[in-house]
Amino acid sequence: MKQLLKLLDYLFVLKPVLLYPVWTLFIAGYYVQAKVVVAAENVATNGTATDPSGPNVLLVGAAVTLLMGAIFVINQVMERNKLESRSRMVLIAPDHLTPKVAFIEAALLLAASLVIGFISGPLIGVLLLVILVLAGILYNFHPFSLKDRPVSAFLTTGLVSFLIFALGWLVAGAPTTQLGLFSIPYVFMILAVYVYASIEEEKPGPGQKKSTLSERAKIALYTGLVLEITALVIAFVLKDEFVFYPLLFSLPFFIWAIMRLTPQDLGRAINYPVFLLALTLSFKQGLAHSGYSFFLILLAVYFLSKLYYRLRFGINFPNLASTTATQLDAQ
């Protein structure tokens, strides 16, 4: 069992749970393009229009997955000292993977991703390369280190979110002004989640049993709420039900996080928007293709991750009600 868990380190260093927003943005771009562009063509041609030819959604999806997984590995290598001081889930360590091994794995994944991307289409390959430069190189390495500059990190997250949505759109369509317009609620939703996820908990003080959020966190909380509401309004105007209902039903979690200032409510505000959007897109896949492969992948990744972290680190992770891992012996 121990050897098997060590082999699984190579898989879970990709942070599969963090790929949920990536997959969701990509699939959203794919289905929104079909809804907006193909529906318009059908109206213009009295229903005789056919879906445009393009690269396979699974092929491009695999390229996006490999790319972002590799970028997550690079980020962990560069942040390993910080992660070790505040988390038990450190896979870049002597007992797990060395930085050299992690970099080699990331390089192989990046090469595979770019090869698949350029085979799928020149524009797709270029967009993957842009994401690599932004989120992999400029975000992590000196002298740029965008991750250490809040505004730059925020803008980079928004731009990368748009590019992932665009990759889903380009699977069966061409870049148009509609791409930029319909991506806005999705990008704003991810930015709202990002702002909340950047808030750090305060350690329990004397006489306190639970950690809380500081008063200073309220600025970030209100910023996230404004982004959430803006995304909701834009989705309503665009009549995009894919993202409108997930935003609507997750709005109370953003409000409760501000009212209660607890890590649990913060965790729900971070996790539920992506979770609800993923469920909506899974339902859409069932209607459009009579299959639920996307939902089954999400389910498998969630429970396999839970089992892995339980056996490897003795913690309860992932958890929809929290962003932090809980030691099993503390439950």
Answer whether residue 312 is part of any domain. yes
> Residue 6's pLDDT band (boundaries 50, 70, 90)?
confident
- On the question of pLDDT at 41 being above 70, the answer is no
Query: What are the pLDDT digits (tens) for 178-201?
Result: 999 999 999 999 999 999 999 876
Query: What are the pLDDT digits (tens) for 279-323?
Result: 999 999 888 887 888 999 999 999 999 999 999 888 888 888 776
pTM: 0.90
Answer whether residue 208 is part of any domain. no
Answer whether residue 7 is part of any domain. yes
- On the question of pLDDT at 93 being above 90, the answer is no
Q: Is 17 exposed, middle or buried (CB count within 10 Å of its CB: 0-12, 13-18, 19+)?
A: middle
Dihedral of alpha carbons 204, 149, 224, 246, sign: negative
Q: Which residues have CB under 8 Å from 54's CB, separation 6+? A: 121, 170, 171, 172, 173
For residues 58 and 37, which has the higher predicted lDDT (pLDDT)?
A: 58
- Domain of residue 147 covers 2-196+213-330
Answer whether residue 201 is part of any domain. no
Answer whether residue 304 is part of any domain. yes
Would you say 139 and 156 are in contact if contact means Cβ atoms under 8 Å apart? yes
> Residue 211's pLDDT band (boundaries 50, 70, 90)?
low
> Residue 51's pLDDT band (boundaries 50, 70, 90)?
very low
Domain count of the fold of the chain? 1
Q: Which residues have CB under 8 Å from 208's CB, separation 6+? A: none
Please choose, from the candidates 227, 226, 213, 223, the residue with its C-alpha nearest in 3D space to the C-alpha of residue 259: 213
Query: What are the pLDDT digits (tens) for 130-155?
Result: 999 999 999 999 999 999 999 999 99
> How are beta strands 315-316 and 326-327 bridged, if at all?
antiparallel
Answer whether residue 203 is part of any domain. no
Answer whether residue 204 is part of any domain. no
Query: Greatest CA span in the chain, whole angstroms?
Result: 71
- On the question of pLDDT at 117 being above 80, the answer is yes
DSSP string, 21-32: HHHHHHHHHHHH
> Residue 214's pLDDT band (boundaries 50, 70, 90)?
low
> Residue 212's pLDDT band (boundaries 50, 70, 90)?
low
Range from 103-107, 120-124, 280-284, 289-293 carrying the lowest mean pLDDT: 289-293
- pLDDT score for 208: 53
Answer whether residue 145 is part of any domain. yes
